[in-house]
Structure 1
Amino acid sequence: MRRAASRALRTTCQCTVRGLSRTTGRPRRIVFPQHSSVALGARSSSSSSRPNHALSEPLRSSMYIRRLSVAFVSGLVGYGAWYTYKGNNALEQATGRAYTTTATQLAPDAGPTRTVLVVGADELHTGTFVGEGPISKNADGSGRNVLEMLTPEQATEKMRQNEVSFMVNRGQGVLRYDIVQVASNNPIEDDHAEKIVEVAPPSSSEDKSNSDWMFWGVFDGHAGWTTSAKLRETLINYVAREINTTYKAASTMNTMPSPEAIDAAMKAGFTRLDDEIVHESVDNVLKSKSKRVAAELLGPALSGSCALLSYYDSSSKTLRVACTGDSRAVLGRRGANGKWTATALSEDQTGSNPNEAARMRKAHPGEARVIHNGRVLGGLEPTRAFGDASYKWSRAVSEQLRASFFGRSSSPYLKTPPYVTAEPVVTTTKVQPEKGDFMVMATDGLWEMLTNEEVVGLVGKWIETQTEQSNSQLSSAWSKMFGSSKGLPVETAKDGGAGGQKTPIRLQQWGISPDEPERFVVKDNNVATHLVRNALGGKNEDQVSALLTLVSPFSRRYRDDLTVQVIFFGNGQKTGEVLVNEEASSPPKSAFKAKL
């Protein structure tokens, strides 16, 4: 559900706080030939299996009302001529062999030809259906399901269904931020939140003007959506209050808090919320002896979520990024040669990251299975996450809850919990608004499709296109800084762009070469949607349509939930307003309008 900017975050400490918040969830090879057929091979649809006090209202998925609404008319494929495109095998498909159809003479009045997806247990390919009438899932016992392919226009509509853009006219170093979500799971397990907090200066400060604390968060849920929904509702408030307390303590001594103290405050906000989710919820459930209360409070504990939260202090132009899990933030900065450089502001925290694996083995010496096949105890991919209580509770607590209420069995390798922590790694960056810096924050659904450099280059290319095509105030500001270029205007990473991060595994799954020329396109006003389009196929409209046609649970084999935020730094006008950029937002626009 898209919600209007609402409740202020208020505290009793030194800062006067008024707030604006916005809240909006592997592979075999897939080959997309040059003609209209699409062939895909899938492996298991399992995701990474990253396997509270009473709320005033039950948690709801952020897309509770705005579910993807592409409807497929019910009925069986009972008439018409049916074709399917098939290759001989995955290796031959990868070499680019053409797909053929069995020649059949059609009657002149056979009807229109429509493209469909045929979804089997282990494969997916396109075909055509000739004739009028409904096309939907086929329940004839063949093991296949049939969906009519979205047209490119319908695919675009689906991509843009949950996009929104805000113009930040506060003169505090941020010009605009764009957001989009595209679901794969049903309901989506991703979530996100944004808040702008206006802060009065300390009484000892010579500068009496207010500043802004700006927060942006993306939350990648797993094993359900309840943990990410909990983070959307509460994490920014927890962190902002800890930071406020830190400033208040420093102001009593007429000083400013140290960078280390602010980092510690952000970490405290994360860990205190996770303690509430995982441990305080158990105390309340055992006291209540109610299965209804258990269902409400244990949901966010039993599921899990990664969290990526950015905090920008406009007075110091300092950007802090706190990362728990494998969502990622990347900074784009324009160099003297006109190209952008991509700088990772977070590191993917999974069992495949050597740094995280070493930390885990040091914390649990002698446990050979603490990291197995790149996963915690062989099961959970992120080494840091909210919730995931089965990796944090003792075996005794898990069994007690299971016996009295419900829950999951403990891993047979559970010896010295907790194995997973919500404590984030915090990085600090000085932002240069005058140079047009930008930041991309996204769940791992984006980063398994595109590299850091491709994402930054795509935003850079989008900026150039906007500058050429628009007369808006923002584009005018960009035109003074940025010209146009051929290809993606980004520096190539010296280390290949990996640096311990996940790589775009989907390209191999889809049979696409990362060096394929001219595979990207610019056609969206919302830059976050622009990134999603190019992640799903860019200029290859058949691929984009096929991937967006897929519905849960089949879609999860080929794409994850996608949540993308892009924040543009810069010195714009100062009216004090935060307004919806209607050109880059899906309707209804009125639902997004918000002011401080």
Structure 2
Amino acid sequence: MYLRQFSAAAIVSIVASSLWYYRKEPDQKRELAGSPTTARGLPHLNPAVANGQSQSRPVVEDDRFFVQEVASSGPIIKSAEVQSVSPHAMLNPEEATQKLRHLQESYEVLRGRGVLRYDIVQLPSNNPIEDDHVEKLMETSPSVPLHDQTDSSATSDWMFWSVFDGHSGWTTSAKLRQVLTSYVARELDATYKHTIAASSLLPPSAALVDAAIKQGFLKCDHDIVHESINRAKKANTKSAAADILGPALSGSCALLSFYDSRSKDFRVACTGDSRAVLGRLNPNGTWTAQPLSEDQTGGTPSEMARLRAEHPGEPNVVAHGRILGNLEPSRAFGDAHYKWARDIQDMVKKDWFGRSPLTLLKTPPYVTAEPVVTTTRVMPEKGDFVVLATDGLWEMLTNDEVVGLVGRWLEENPLKSKTTPSASPSWTRSFLGGKARSDASLPVNRLHNESSQSGQRSPIRRQQWDITAGDERFVVEDKNAATHLVRNALGGRDRDMVCGLLTLPSPYSRRYRDDLTVEVIFFGEAEPCGDVVLNVEASAPRIARPKL
């Protein structure tokens, strides 16, 4: 269990008042609420406590998280054996909302090419956040026609949305934010140009496009993991070598989506356990969730079979759902300790820094950055949407709940589209007669046994948080659809739960929620003006310019 993995020096146990304390790290400059530490021995008792005044506090007990009222109206200071500790006062609902919305962004895509808008939010748990994301728009040449397109003179948009889930540090995900889209776009451009030149202006096949995306991923990872060794050898200092090798020594999952506005093909390239889900409207006004990726971990049956076939005679290539018993994602960028040969790892340790090779290391690489690519024809005329998110969201919500939550959000926040109300009820709430939904149920066509889907893990946090499933726990309070999902993932209507989970500071918060990065892409027919415009209403004040 999580609490058992922490030492007493890291966390002071729950005291009689059930308050939760955390240790102040020596190198941290965080201000802690409270007065100077009292003398060693019994804790100082604030007069307000004796008077019976109460206040909500987040509580961790038996590896469960909950909120309860405790007697306190001010900070309580206690002397610890090594250093002073202080309770962390719980955020109030207004402060929690401010924290939820601090990194939210929203953009209207007014180009008339099938995309209406996309919303983004991030919520750190690690400090700094190990997640990252990037969005890019590229206008292609008119000399790239399609089989079913008669107008070959018009340009088209290539749009990319990506989320990156880092682990063992933030450097790999930050590197991917900088370079991965460029690697993929170069391979796509070369494939299109070569195919068109060789086949009398016919576009490349789906297989060639998929291969180009995979090649972009593999070239990027080769540069991070292997070419970095050659660059590090030329570095003059260990500090310079650390900067070069950082993205190789940490790791990151990657979920990249590629939309071609002319074909309406939406491709998802998945390396790791981030997930993409499509929401599609049914004739009766409900939505259906369609997974566009498979979670790739040491516990995924298809990945377990692949690894055992690639490494025969190694029974521990997958152990306890992890690669060599350690790493959970079976595909990732970086993670050089699972890719470098033993002699390279010994050299890195001797010449610069590092750790000894893994005990079970025999036939690397065990982890690959090659993605699994899926293709879906989106229907802007029917108001499709796609949710991309790191696994922190899927630990809390099912695919059906995520799609149903966006569907409910659309009932309260209809988007502007040229599509007629009869063709796109979600934008106008016509299937509800122009009225908000009166019951608590989500507008989603639920699968009978969603958790049994191959490769789709069920939310693991509910048991930890002692949450019972039920749509009545959800709310609509945010103008940003991504923020709306995160709020409901953290407790929704249960404001104490939301406030408590947002109060837990790093690094302890990581035991109860992961870093969160969520993107929601809305498709539809908008009046074109050629711009990507910041949606101020659904963006944090610090956001000042479009991302694409």
Answering whether residue 444 of structure 2 is matched by residue 490 of structure 1, we say: yes
Q: Say if 2:188 is the partner of 1:243.
A: yes
- 2:64, 2:466 within 8 Å by CA — same for their partners in 1? no
**Secondary structure of 2:290's match?**
strand
Output the aligned Cα RMSD: 2.9
**Residue 592 of structure 1 pairs with residue 533 of structure 2:** no
1:97-246 mapped onto 2 (5 Å cutoff): 106=52, 113-117=54-58, 126-132=68-74, 135=75, 138-141=78-81, 145-202=86-143, 206-246=151-191
| Partner Cα separation in structure 1 for residue 396 and residue 18 of structure 2 | 18
In the aligned structure 1, how far is the partner of 2:30 from the partner of 2:382? 41
Match of 2:428 among 463, 475, 479: 479
The 2-side partners of 1:444 and 1:137 are apart by: 37
Secondary structure of the structure 2 residue equivalent to 1:238: helix
Contact residue 118 and residue 147 of structure 1 kept, 8 A: no
1:369 corresponds to: 316
- AA in 2 matched with 1:73: A
| C-alpha contact (below 8 Å) 1:82/1:127 kept by paired residues | no
Structure 2 gaps, min length 5: 5-16, 22-28, 38-43
Partner in structure 2 of residue 8 of structure 1? none
Measured at CA, do residues 138 and 456 of structure 1 come closer, stay the same or move farther in structure 2, by a change above 3 Å? farther
CA distance in 1, matches of 2:76, 2:136: 42
- Per the alignment, residue 503 of structure 1 pairs with 458
Identify unmatched segments of 5+ residues in structure 1: 1-25, 30-37, 43-68, 84-103, 107-111
Asked if 1:577 is matched to 2:526, the reply is no
User: Which residue, out of 507, 510, 513, partners 1:553?
Assistant: 507
Compared CA separation, residues 169 and 474, structure 1 to 2 (3 A): farther
Aligned with residue 290 of structure 1, among 237, 242, 248 = 237
Q: Would the aligned equivalents of 1:247 and 1:257 in 2 still touch at CA under 8 Å?
A: yes
CA shift in 2, pair 1:138/1:460, >3 Å: farther
The answer for the alignment partner of 1:274 in structure 2 is 221
Instruction: Tell me if the contact between 2:417 and 2:526 (Cα under 8 Å) persists in the aligned partners.
Output: no
- Is contact 1:184-1:556 (8 Å) kept? yes
List per-residue Cα deviations over 1:337-382 (Å, max 9, x = no partner).
2110000000000011010000000000010110000000000000
1:65-80 equivalences under 5 Å are 72-73=32-33, 75=35, 78-80=44-46
Q: Which amino acid aligns with 1:493?
A: L
Give the counterpart of 1:329 among 269, 273, 276: 276
Give how far 1:201 is off: 1.5
Residue type of the alignment partner of 2:545: F
Cα drift, residue 126 of structure 1: 4.4
C-alpha separation in 2, matches of 1:577 and 1:40: 51
Deviation by residue 1:140-174 (Cα, 9 ceiling, x = unmatched): 34997511000011000000000010000000100
Confirm or deny: 8 A CA contact 1:520 1:538 kept in the other structure.
yes
2:343 to 372, 388, 396: 396
Contact 2:482–2:520 under 8 Å retained in 1: yes
Cα gap change, 1:206/1:243 in structure 2, threshold over 3 Å: closer, same or farther?
A: same
- The Cα shift of 1:76 comes to 5.3
Deviations 1:214-253 (A, max 9, x none): 0000000000000000000111111011100000101212
- Is contact 1:453–1:497 with CA below 8 Å preserved after alignment? no
CA shift at 1:129, angstroms? 4.8
Deviation of 1:573 after TM superposition, in Å, equals: 1.1
Structure 2 matches for 1:332-351, cutoff 5 A? 332-351=279-298
TM-score of the pair, normalised by structure 1: 0.79
Render the CA deviation track for 1:55-85: whole Å, top value 9, x for unaligned.
xxxxxxxxxxxxxx997535458442587xx
Please report how far the alpha carbon of residue 293 of structure 1 lies from its aligned counterpart in structure 2 after TM superposition. 2.3
1:527-546 CA-partner distances (Å, limit 9, x unpaired): 00000000000000000000
Check whether the contact 1:330–1:346 (CA below 8 A) recurs between aligned residues. Answer: yes
Against the structure 1 CA distance between its residues 475 and 513, is the aligned structure 2 distance closer, same or farther, given a 3 Å change threshold?
Answer: farther
Counterparts of 2:450 and 2:60 in 1: how far apart (Å)? 35
Residue aligning to 1:444: 391
Equivalent of 2:355 in 393, 408, 424: 408
Mapped contact 1:164–1:586 kept (Cα < 8 A) = yes
Name the counterpart of 1:258.
Answer: 205
Instruction: State the Cα distance separating 1:277 from its structure 2 match.
Output: 0.2
Whether contact under 8 Å (1:121, 1:144) holds in the other structure is no
Give the direction of change, closer, same or farther, for the CA distance of 1:243–1:150 in structure 2 (3 Å limit). same
Opposite residue 46 of structure 2, the aligned amino acid is G
Distance 2:137 2:545 in 1: 15
Rounded to whole Å, the distance in 2 between the matches of 1:138 and 1:229 is 39
Aligned equivalents of 1:203, 1:426: Cα separation in 2: 22
For the pair 1:424 / 2:377, whether they are aligned, the reply is: no
Could you tell me how far apart the structure 1 residues matched to 2:419 and 2:85 are?
50
Distance in 2, Cα, partners of 1:566 & 1:475: 22
Counterpart code for 2:462: L
SS of residue paired to 1:207: coil
Tell me if structure 1 keeps the 8 A contact 2:20–2:87: no
Letter in 2 for 1:210: T
| 2:88 match: secondary structure | strand
Residues 79 and 480 of structure 1: CA distance in aligned 2, closer, same or farther (over 3 Å): closer
Report if aligned partners of 1:41, 1:123 keep a CA contact under 8 Å in 2: no
SS of residue in 2 equivalent to 1:332: strand
- Sequence identity (%): 53
Asked whether the 8 Å contact 1:118–1:145 carries over to 2, the reply is: no
Q: Contact 2:2/2:63 (CA < 8 Å) preserved in 1?
A: no
Identify if the C-alpha distance between structure 1 residues 195 and 322 changes in structure 2 by more than 3 Å, giving closer, same or farther.
Answer: same
Q: What SS class does the counterpart of residue 148 from structure 1 fall into?
A: coil
- Shift of residue 496, structure 1, vs aligned partner: 2.5
* TM-score (norm: length of structure 2): 0.86
User: How many Å separate the matches in 1 of 2:221 and 2:394?
Assistant: 26
Q: 1:374 to 1:474 in 2, by over 3 A?
A: same
Change (3 A) 1:420 1:311: same
Kept after mapping to 2: 8 A contact 1:184/1:561: yes
Q: How does 1:13-28 map to 2 (within 5 A)?
A: none
Cα deviations across residues 279-309 of structure 1 (Å, max 9, x unaligned)?
0001111233531221111100000000000
SS at match of 2:101: helix
Q: CA deviation at 1:503?
A: 1.0
Closer, same or farther in 2 for the Cα pair 1:203/1:231, shift >3 Å? closer
Q: Report deviation, 1:502.
A: 1.5
1:583 alignment partner, SS class: helix
Taking a change above 3 Å as real, the CA distance of residues 169 and 415 of structure 1, as seen in their structure-2 partners, is same
Partners of 2:267 and 2:78 lie apart in 1 by: 51
2:25 aligns with none
Which stretch of the first structure deviates more once superposed, 472-481 or 243-252? 472-481
Structure 1 range deviating more: 173-182 or 196-205:
196-205
CA distance change for structure 1 residues 119 and 451 in 2, over 3 Å: closer, same or farther?
A: closer
Q: Which moved more, 1:355-364 or 1:135-144?
A: 135-144
Q: After alignment, is 406-415 or 387-396 more displaced?
A: 406-415
1:56 aligns with: none
- Residues 31-50 of structure 1 correspond to what in structure 2 (within 5 A)? none
State the alpha-carbon separation in 1 of the partners of residues 495 and 417 from structure 2: 29
